[in-house]
Amino acid sequence: MFAWTNDGTPARLAVDAFNALAKPSKWNNIGSRIEFLPNDNTKGRVLMQVYPTYFLYYNRQHSASDTQFQAERPLDNFNQNPYPPGPAPFIKP
């Protein structure tokens, strides 16, 4: 398997400020992961969290169904057992 992980989490100071505002919940790191398995052809699998919006392109083509919109409320990226070290609860394939 070949995979690429993108971590887009802001600096620690910003995360600490977000956590203070959202107590008792805590910030989940944001990012995405693209996985390619030998039998997947060229499509691969994209795993992403609820923030930010993702625009997916396959072979340089994009369609409306290839857009994963971010959560409507910023607080949807916070929870009681954040990633890391907890599981990434908001990653969706």
**pLDDT at residue 65 in the model:** 76
Residue count (the chain): 93
Check residues 24 and 36 and name the one with the higher pLDDT: 24
pLDDT, tens digit (0-9, with 9 covering 90-100), for 43-91: 777 877 777 777 888 778 887 777 888 878 878 888 787 766 665 555 5
* pTM of the predicted structure, to 2 decimals: 0.58
- Going by DSSP bridges, is the β-strand pair 45-48/78-79 parallel, antiparallel, or unpaired? unpaired
- For the chain, give every domain's residue range: 2-79
Beta-carbon contacts of residue 9 (< 8 Å; ≥ 6 apart) = 15, 27, 29, 30, 31
Mean pLDDT of 19-31: 85
